[in-house]
């Protein structure tokens, strides 16, 4: 029963119970969806396994998006176990935190490439593998931030990666649309997660959003979770190539 009854999908990028991925997992589970999770490295395994159990989910093992073998192993395991996929949540990003402060112009080539590979290209490599399993159509959702559109202090190279990620959403939407596979992004307002704690002056950004957004507050992972649910469910069946803001409306004033 529920909007997601009979649907099975993968959530990538769960680190702990403050992750945006966790908000989305709870929303999808509440509407009857079956969720598979991957984790990056053994340290996160201990966190992901109990959370997966809480929502009756399945764990498909270690998956580092920079390691092709681990990606193939995970999608291979899903194919073997489930045969098909209905949705994928891509909630993954990384940049050296020493470069998430100060000036963008000082970004190193090495961190630029790494940031782009993990935070942008990985959506495409996930889509390549998901396409094969989305035999009845499907929904792919990634997470982005307003720093893709406007210069945000300290967001630096991650802003460039998110801009490329949002462009990827549009290109992927066209490539996969013929198969009934939709590709969208949620542009979430700032939330204090593990990844966000690496961004310089993050508390100031939170306060700024609270004071200036139309709703005069920041957003929660549960709220972003409900937007993820909408984008994975058939309610959004006519929506693709979209960057949907879940940010208390900040983007209309920022
Ligand atoms: O304010 C925020 N928190 C916002 C986050 C506002 C708007 C967008 N986002 C985005 C992030 O950029 C990211 O794309 O939401 C997505 C999820 O981020 P999150 O929920 O804020 O952060 P977190 O709970 O830390 O999860 C991100 C996870 C990693 O966690 P850590 O903190 O250990 O890096 O991404 C995963 C990892 O689990 N990840 C990887 N997974 C596979 N392979 C890799 C990798 N190479 N690198 C990072």
Domain limits, the chain: 8-247
CATH number of this structure's domain 8-247: 3.40.50.720
CB 41 within 8 A of CB 48: no
Distance 20 CA to ligand 1 centre (A): 8
The pLDDT assigned to 201 comes to 87
Mean pLDDT (the chain) is 97
Distance 92 CA to ligand 1 centre (A): 4
59 lines ligand 1 (CB under 6 A): no
91 lines ligand 1 (CB under 6 A): yes
Entry pTM: 0.98
The pLDDT assigned to 254 comes to 86
The pLDDT assigned to 200 comes to 81
Best substitution site from 14, 20, 141, 145 to test ligand 1's pocket, by max atoms within 8 Å of Cβ?
20
CB 223 within 8 A of CB 244: no
List residues with catalytic annotation.
Answer: 145, 155
Distance 238 CA to ligand 1 centre (A): 28
The annotation status of 11 as a binding-site residue, yes or no, is no
pLDDT digit string, tens, across residues 53-111: 999 999 999 999 999 999 999 999 999 999 999 999 999 999 999 999 999 999 999 99
ipTM over 0.85: yes
Q: Which residues of the chain, if any, have pLDDT below 70?
A: none
């Amino acid at each position: 029963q529920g909007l997601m009854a009979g649907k099975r999908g993968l959530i990538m990028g769960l680190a702990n119970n403050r992750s945006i991925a966790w908000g989305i997992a709870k929303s999808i589970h509440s509407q009857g969806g079956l969720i598979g999770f991957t984790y990056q490295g053994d340290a996160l395994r201990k966190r992901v396994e109990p959370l997966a159990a809480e929502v009756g989910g399945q764990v498909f093992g270690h998956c580092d998006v920079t390691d092709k073998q681990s990606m193939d192993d995970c999608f291979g395991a899903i194919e073997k176990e489930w045969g098909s996929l209905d949705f994928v949540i891509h909630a993954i990003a990384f940049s050296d935190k020493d470069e998430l402060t100060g000036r963008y112009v000082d970004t190193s080539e090495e961190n630029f490439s790494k940031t782009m590979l993990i935070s942008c290209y990985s959506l495409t490599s996930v889509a390549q593998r998901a396409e094969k399993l989305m035999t009845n159509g499907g929904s792919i959702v990634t997470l982005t931030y307003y720093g893709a559109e406007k210069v945000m202090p300290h967001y630096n190279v991650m802003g460039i990666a998110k801009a490329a990620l949002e462009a990827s959403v549009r290109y992927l939407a066209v490539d996969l649309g013929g198969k009934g596979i939709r590709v969208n992004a949620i542009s979430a307002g700032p939330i204090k997660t593990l990844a966000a704690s690496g961004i310089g002056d993050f508390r100031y950004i939170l306060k700024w959003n609270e004071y200036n957004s139309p709703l005069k507050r920041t957003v929660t992972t549960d709220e972003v979770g409900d937007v993820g649910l909408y984008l994975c469910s058939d309610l959004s069946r006519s929506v693709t190539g979209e960057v949907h803001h879940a940010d208390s409306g900040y983007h209309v004033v920022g």
